[in-house]
Amino acid sequence: MEDLLTSESIVRLLDDDIPMDDAGKLAYKNVFPCEYVPETVQDGKTFICFDVDIQQSVNKTYLLPTLYVWVFTHRSKLRLPNGGGVRTDKMCSEICKAINGSRKYGLGELDLYSVKRFAPMTDYQGKVLTFYAKDFNRVYDPHKATPTNRKRG
């Protein structure tokens, strides 16, 4: 969420009227750390939701988390002003600039796998971005006792 709400271009696409100092106020109003579709929306808004699934555990050492980012907006906000294109496409591009290839989401780089259409409710259009990463399956616990049946050197 921090990577999204500290990017001025993403914040401007979410709400052009909010000052960057107040971008954190968009958390849980327009940006959600889970798959979330608002039940009723009085005004046309733009949303970003994200969540992580563990698709598989490769072995006891590594697992493969999948990061999903849903971007959707009301059809009245799809077209950017001044012929700037489609809001959801621009947001996907800006999100990729902010996190694709990042080394903060696991071991190695976060990799974009796909971008697909997403229509969560009537009058809303969007995209879902899918990123893959690799991370450790188990966190080392130095306080965990070594089994007594193991050789100690």
Asked if residues 88 and 126 have their Cβ atoms less than 8 Å apart, the reply is yes
* pTM higher than 0.85: no
Q: How many CB atoms lie within 10 A of CB 53?
A: 11
Question: What is the mean predicted confidence (pLDDT) over 101-108?
Answer: 87
User: CATH number for the domain including 92?
Assistant: 3.30.2000.10
What pLDDT is stored for residue 150 in this prediction?
A: 59
pLDDT tens figures, 74-84:
999 999 988 77
* 16 found inside a domain: no
153 pLDDT higher than 70:
no
Domain that holds residue 51: 45-136
Strands 107-118 and 124-136 turn out to be: antiparallel
* 93 found inside a domain: yes
- Give the separation between CA 58 and CA 90, rounded to whole angstroms: 34
44 pLDDT higher than 90:
no
Number of structural domains found in the chain = 1
